[in-house]
Structure 1
Amino acid sequence: MTHPVRRIGFLLWPGTRPLTLALAEEALRVSQRVHPDVHYELLFLQAEPGAEAPLDGGWQLPGSPWAGQLEGLHKLLLVTDEPPGALSPALSAALKQAVRAGCVLGAVAAGVYPLAQLGLLDGYRAAVHWRWQDDFAERFPKVIATSHLFDWDRDRLTACGGLAVLDLLLAVLARDHGAELAGAVSEELVVERIREGSERQRIPLQNRLGSSHPKLTQAVLLMEANIEEPLTTDEIAQHVCVSRRQLERIFKQYLNRVPSQYYLELRLNKARQLLMQTSKSIIQIGLSCGFSSGPHFSSAYRNFFGATPREDRNQRRSASPFELTESVAERS
């Protein structure tokens, strides 16, 4: 069966990285190679005049300058790796007209900024790169900023940037043509696994802790390196050269929890990741995350997540592999 041609536009600002576009373009090109009946037409447009000039390193934005209209597109993704300035009135009007015409709008990396400036993300979830989350949340309180890899909320698509653009495009392929095609593309690209949109960005340790306290950082790194055979609080304190009481005071001050509680949460989050991403048995996962028995693991897991490991795994696996939002699923 021949599928209709889908036109996807990429509106680009200076500062867009080559990798971002290469990943998006390659996913769509490969889909057409592995399934000849799939047709995507890609359109690259430069949002600002003069963007055709070579950037540092000789990289030049592809496509032609935006000519005043955004018509006939099924999806339009705004792409930039740094927050741009204010949009021109003409471009603002064109984007709003595209929405009225039924175009699905999206953004990659800092592309969320122009959409939010126009109010086109108000009331929507939007994946925002960890570097900008505080700034974005403060400037655009009507947007539900998340630390997800990507979000597909009704007629808005957002990816935090980096490799997450590939995850988003695989979700688009799955929605347009089924999970089998998305799986074939991921295999062709030697992608280890297809990541769900709701997976969290890997935020640098200092940013995650909200602190640069060296003893706290050392202690957390020790915990992360010793998941299967957890250290005691006394052992951790000895390794980082502080007393147990000092270590507890540091954790309480910066993380509002004692070291043992933080360590337990760390192990449980690792266990949940393994539950969703591997076929290991629940017993194997519990033991690999430092729990002495199945009942001990199940009890701790239920107390923290509100469901047993088995219940959580079954619920997540019964959902779409790309975890599209309920509103999207309802429209399928």
Structure 2
Amino acid sequence: MQPPFSVSLILLPGFSLFALGAVRSLFAAANEVGGELLYQVEQYAADGTQVITQCGVVLSAHPIDQLQRADLLMLVADERVEPSIANTTGNFLKQYLSSSHHASESILGGCGTGTQILAEHGLLDGYRAAIHWQILADAVKRYPSIVFTPGLFEIDRNRISAGAGAAVLDLLLHWLEQRHGNTFAAEVAASLGLERLRGSDERQPVPASAQPALGSARLKEALELMAANLAEPLQAEDIAQLVGVSRRQLERLFRQHLDTFPSRYYLELRLKHARRQLKQTTQSILQVGLACGFTSGPHFSTTYRNYFGYTPREERARHSMPQVMTKNSEEDIQ
């Protein structure tokens, strides 16, 4: 009997618990359909023995330097990763691929923003890849040696990648189909309650709020101006003049396509950017507020609380003091 195919999941801070659960459930289902232990899954942390999920839960994991051999190494991430941890992970993978006797047989993958770490360290050069839709445009510019696609996933030789959310399921189901055949993959999908397998040519679903242009070139230009001027917000009159419409026409465009006013949209854009910075960086609360166009700490705090229901300090505390799972819960997930 052949040893099980080893799957090593490298979990990056802020990863989606949904993505981890989906991957582990898929391989558990594959073992069930196959009637034997076809896949052995282990999880690793790039920094220490614990990793924090997107929802603030702490999971235990093996230190990444204990990883000896893996048939499939996959980075799981859903938020931008601190440069130090990203570099630790990328450098480890480069060293592994250059020193391991089995490196040529290993498959390297990423889902969500995990693909960006592979790209940053040259591990996807010459390959096709899928990446989280939120950073797709930036990735195309930053990594010209990689062919990024807007699809749900990509399987290109010994590199596999998926975009956001459930796309990792579609990726791995198609990968299982290549290894075991259509019937096997269909049975795994059915056991997970999936009616069909989505193809790699299907685009990642993007929220309506992230598709703001909706056929209006002037609206698109106005939104690009807002996104480029978060620290020093423009006045509505200035935006209207720059895109070649009156302020009333600009307000009409926003109401028609986004069901809001320019000032409201701009404020939400700045607040949501501030929220990401509070969760993903170590900048002080005042620095975050100023970088998002708020004139003082109290102004930032009051506006943030009015919109989200809690202060920037409380937001940061929610992510710096995560809930710790019980020992039994950790063992269930591992």
SS of equivalent residue, structure 1 residue 48: coil
Q: CA-to-partner distance for each residue in 1:59-96, whole Å, 9 max, x for gaps?
A: 1234222125x432111111111132241344542254
2:118 aligned partner, one-letter code: L
Q: Does 1:76 align with 2:76?
A: no
State the alpha-carbon separation in 2 of the partners of residues 53 and 7 from structure 1: 21
**Normalized against structure 2, the TM-score is what?**
0.58
2:199 equivalent to 1:196: yes
Aligned to 2:65, the other structure's residue is in SS state: coil
Deviation at 1:161, TM superposition (A): 2.4
1:100–1:185 Cα change, 3 Å: closer
1:229 alignment counterpart: none
Deviation, 1:121, is 0.6
- Contact 2:50–2:60 (CA<8 Å) still a contact in 1? yes
What SS does structure 2 have at the residue aligned with 1:60? strand
2:62 pairs with one of 61, 64, 76: 64
Q: Which amino acid aligns with 1:204?
A: P
Does 2:95 match 1:93? yes
Alpha carbons 1:14, 1:61 under 8 Å: kept: no
Structure 1 residues 56, 167: CA separation in 2 closer, same or farther (over 3 Å shift)? closer
Pick closer, same or farther for the CA change 1:90–1:171 going to 2, 3 Å: closer
- Give SS of 1:175's match: helix
Q: d(CA) in 2 for partners of 1:140 and 1:171?
A: 26
Q: Structure 1: any 5+ residue segments left out of the alignment?
A: 218-245, 251-332
Shift of the 97–145 alpha-carbon distance from structure 1 to 2, 3 Å rule, reads farther
Q: In 2 relative to 1, CA 118–53 (structure 1 residues): closer, same or farther, beyond 3 Å?
A: closer
Kindly indicate whether the alpha-carbon contact (under 8 Å) linking 2:108 and 2:160 is maintained by their aligned counterparts in 1: yes
Q: Deviations over 1:42-75 (max 9, x none)?
A: 01110123x616557551234222125x432111
Number of corresponding residues: 217
The answer to whether 1:131 aligns with 2:129 is no
Aligned 8 A contact 1:206 1:212 in 2: no
SS of match in other structure, 1:151? strand
Residue matched to 2:110: 107
Q: How far off is 1:211 after superposition?
A: 5.9
Identify which of structures 1 and 2 has the higher relative contact order when contacts are C-alpha pairs closer than 8 Å and 6+ apart.
2
Q: Distance in 2 between matches of 1:53 and 1:22?
A: 15
Structure 1 CA distance, aligned partners of 2:47 and 2:215? 39
> Is contact 1:106-1:158 (8 Å) kept?
yes
Q: Is the 8 A contact 1:12 1:61 kept in 2?
A: no
Which amino acid counterpart does residue 201 of structure 1 have in structure 2? Answer: Q
Partners in 2 of 1:55 and 1:202 — Cα distance? Answer: 23
Unaligned runs of 5+ in 2: 221-248, 254-334
Q: RMSD in angstroms over aligned alpha carbons?
A: 3.0
Question: In structure 2, how many angstroms separate the alpha carbons of the residues matched to 1:124 and 1:170?
Answer: 20
Fraction of identical pairs, as percent? 32
Contact 1:46–1:61 (Cα < 8 Å) also in 2: no
